[in-house]
Every structure is written in C-alpha cells, then in structure tokens.
Amino acid sequence: MKPDVTIINDIAKLAGEQILNYYDDDIEVDHKSDDSPLTKADLASHREIVSGLSEHYPEIPVLSEESEIPDYSVRKDWDEYFLIDPLDGTKEFIKKNGEFTVNIAFIENNIPVLGVVYIPAEEVLYFATKEKGAFKQKGDGPIKQIEHDEYNKNEPARIMVSRSHRGSDTNEKLAEMGIEVSEEIPSGSSLKICFVAEGKADLYPRFGPTMEWDTAAADAVYRYSGKNGPVSSPLKYNKEDLHNPEFIIGLA
C-alpha cells in the first residue's frame, strides 16, 4: 500500500507537538559522535514518527537520522522506504528562533515521490506528491498549491543561505558560474528548499556538508512545485554514502 499524504501530514503534526513539549523549557543538549547537537525533542519526535509509520505502513522500512543506519548491503535492495529527519534545524530549535522542521519523505527507486515538511512553531505545513503537486497550509486554514518559475540564469538571483552554516565563498562560486546574487535570504533547516519551491527565492546553493535526510522531504516539495510539471533535482537517495554532494536547488 502506497502512503497516503494525509496520514503522513498528521504524523508530522503529532511529532511537532512532541517537539514543542520541550520548546519552552531549558533545553538540554547532548552531542553525537560527529559533534552535532541532540536534544530530547529530537528523540521524542523520532519515536512519534516511527510509531505512526509502523502502525500504518509496517511493511515499509524507515531510515531516520536518529536510528541505527542499516548497512548498505541491506539498504541497496530497498525499492521504497521512508526517510525522516525528526527535527531538522536542531541548532535553530536550541536558539528558539522557530526555524526548525519535521521532515518525512517516501522514497521510491531512489527518488522522493512524497514529502512532508512541518514547522511546529508556526503550524505551517508543506507537502507534495508526484501525482498531485506541492501545497502549503497554515494551521487549519485553506490548502494552497505552491509553484515556482524556472530560474533564468541571465537574471540576478535571490538565494537562500543557511543561518547557522554560512559558507563564506558561496557568492564567489556562483559568480564563477555566471550567476549574480541580488539578495541573500537567511533561514534554517529544510525551509530553504521550501522557499525556492514557493518562489520566495530563486536558488538554494549548498557547498557545505548535508545528509540525505536533511533534504529529502523538502526536495519532494521542490520537485513537484514546477509550474509546468515536475522539475529535476540534483539529489539522489539511498546512496552507499548518505552524504549529499554539493548542490544548487533551483538551477535547471
């Protein structure tokens, strides 16, 4: 049974509630082996998502940032699986600036065909499916389809930049590609890709390290927000090495 995006949306919202249970408290921060931050909220969201997915789709494997990663000899045979980041933007969560998200993607043959990105602090939901396109909803308000125009390389670009992982040479690298930057828009987590998807920015260049779970859900929102149908993305999933290469979202 293929996942129902409405069910996945509800699971993401429940995970967001788990995260907000810790938001007003003094946040205790541990660190993982790669020195990235980890909080109780990350783990509570992870448990909520895995529980929900296991209840509705017990036959579909789940790969989470907060779980043990199966060996590639096992993963390579997965035709479909869920890829989740229970709390993307943990640094933004710790700073309490609201720019953190719950990310759930359904991957089919190494491509995200469904993606849900939820912003708990703002009750904003982005979601997309390959069949129906990309959408945005605030609280219980109306669901609105989102679309973006293809970026014209001859025009100056509005680019998304990371609030916590700013690269100093981004503009220089873009200039070498013939792209002039007209505006830099800072944001945290996977919101940067969603902003490109809804046309608030033209490009999201990322020349620093990211993982597959950081991008998959928002990548689906981007892929299926093209005005003339699905657009291409430079990202692929379920690689032996789960690091993403350098990429630019929004560049055809």
Q: Around 149, how many Cα atoms within 13 Å sit in the side-chain half-sphere? A: 8
Per residue in 106-126, is it b (16+ CB within 10 Å) or e — as a string? bbbeebbbbbbbbbbbeebbb
Check whether domain 157-249 has CATH 3.40.190.80, yes or no: yes
For the chain, which residues make up each domain, given as ranges? 5-145, 157-249
Query: What is the second-level CATH architecture of the domain 5-145?
Result: 2-Layer Sandwich (3.30)
pLDDT tens digits along 117-156:
999 999 999 999 999 999 999 999 999 999 999 999 899 9
Using pLDDT thresholds of 50, 70 and 90, give the confidence band for residue 165.
low
* Closest alpha carbon to 96 in 121, 128, 131: 121
For residue 196, the model assigns a pLDDT of 98
Q: CA dist 34 to 5, 42, 206, Å?
A: 33, 16, 19
Determine the Cα–Cα distance for residues 20 and 7; give it in Å rounded to an integer.
Answer: 20
Contact 75, 110 (CB under 8 A): no
- pTM of the predicted model over 0.75: yes
Which percentage of the chain shows pLDDT scores above 90? 83
For residue 33, the model assigns a pLDDT of 65
pLDDT tens digits along 182-195:
999 999 899 999 99
